[in-house]
Structure 1
Amino acid sequence: MFQQIKTYYKTLVPAITDESWNAMEERLTVQHLKKGDFFIRKGDICRHVCFVNTGLMRLFYLEDGKEICTAFITENKFISEYASFLTNAPAAQYMEALEDCELVNLSFTNMQNLYKQYPVFEIFGRKIAEYLYLLLSKHNTILRAHTPEQRYQFLLDEEPQLIQRVPQYMIASFIGITPEHLSRIRNKR
């Protein structure tokens, strides 16, 4: 159950010893979500950072009753409503399972305890924070600096499996266009 996350951790921080990994494993919890289940809703406090073992998650917020997708997270990646996680403030976004998911969760408290006991986890924590920041930054840059056609092509290049796994209207929302505009782009190909 924890083999995928252990492999991932080892790629991020090869210096993790068996002792430190065992301490981490004792603090991890597994959660199963069914398609359509929410991990976090706007206004909840996000108390965990999650590793997606299996399945597909999305982050989104509502603007005038319309869903605006900000991220899709596939297997072997981390997800969190990170501002809420770090500040203990209400979440601004929703985290929803688009497929049945198995999440491996680490609570804020357990993460802080690991930092104190095993400094190697500070490197891990920094790398996860960097990953989540880069995910957000990349999406923002793509939305602001590229045409809709370029944004769609970027998605095809970076995450081609999403085209098969995510409904078209969510893809359109993620790249900042209407479903009709996305259909026109796809028909031109």
Structure 2
Amino acid sequence: MFESVRAYYQKLIPQLQDHEWSAIESRFTVQHLKKGELLTRQGEICRQVSFINKGLLRFFYNVDGRSVSIGFMPEGEYIAQYDSFLVQAPSKGNIDVLEDAELVNLSYTDVQELYAAYPVFQVFGRKIAEMLFMMVVSQTTSLLTLSPEERYLAVAEEEPYIIRRVPQYLIASYIGITPEHLSRLRRKLARKAGVA
């Protein structure tokens, strides 16, 4: 069950030793969530980080009564409302389940104990934080510097699973346009492709 998690760890920290893996593996808990359920709710403290063994999850905020998507995570990645997790403060955002999910969780307490006992996990934690930071910077830069068409094409190229697996109205929210605008954009791109 934990083969994918171990491969993920060894990709980020190749020096991971068997005894270190055993220490973390013994602390994992497995959670199953159904499509539509929330992993993290705005106002609640995020008390765990979760490796997505199966499924697809979404980061979003509630803004003026609208759900604004800011990112998606497929299987084979870690997910958490990381700002809430780091300082154990109420989350400003939400994480919901777009496809039935199997998660491998580590609690905040376990993460802190592993950091203290095994310095190699501090390296892992830093690398995860860096990846999440780069995801946020990429999304912000995209929204500020690219046209809707360029944002859509970037998603299609860099994160094609989103185009295949995420409902259109959530893709529209993610790239900062209305679902109607996305429909027009997709028709325009299809016409261009047909001409090319």
Please give the TM-score of this superposition, normalised by the length of structure 2. 0.95
Give, in whole Å, the separation in 2 of the partners of 1:136 and 1:29: 27
What is aligned with 1:24? 24
Instruction: Give the letter for the 1:87 counterpart.
Output: V
- The within-5 A match list for 1:34-113 is 34-113=34-113
Alpha-carbon offset, residue 94 of structure 1: 0.9
Question: For 1:63 and 1:19, how far apart are their aligned partners in 2?
Answer: 46
Separation (CA, whole Å) in 2 of partners of 1:102 and 1:158: 24
- TM-superposed CA distance for 1:44, in Å, is 0.7
1:71-127 per-residue CA deviation (whole Å, 9 max, x = no partner) reads 100111111101100111111111100000011111111011111111111100100
Alpha-carbon RMSD across the aligned residues, in angstroms, is 0.7
Residue type of the alignment partner of 1:173: S
* 1-structure distance, mates of 2:75, 2:131: 15
Question: Radius of gyration: which is bigger?
Answer: 2
Match of 2:137, as an amino acid? S
* Structure 1 unaligned regions, length at least 5: none
1:164 Cα deviation from its structure 2 partner: 2.0
- Quote the residue 2:194 is aligned against: none
2:4 counterpart of 1:4: yes
CA distance in 2, matches of 1:77, 1:87: 22
Deviations 1:129-187 (A, max 9, x none): 11111111111111111000000000000111211211100000000000011111100
- 1:172 corresponds in structure 2 to 172
> Residue 141 of structure 1 aligns with which residue?
141
| Residue in structure 2 matched with residue 117 of structure 1 by the alignment | 117
Separation (CA, whole Å) in 2 of partners of 1:151 and 1:169? 15
Identity of aligned residues (%): 52
Matched to 1:161, the amino acid is Y
Per-residue CA shift, 1:32-52, capped at 9, x if unaligned? Answer: 100001011100100111111
Give the 3-state SS of the residue equivalent to 1:16 in structure 2.
coil
- Find the aligned partners of 1:128 and 1:29 in 2 and give their Cα distance: 19
Match of 2:192 in 1: none
Counterpart position of 2:161: 161
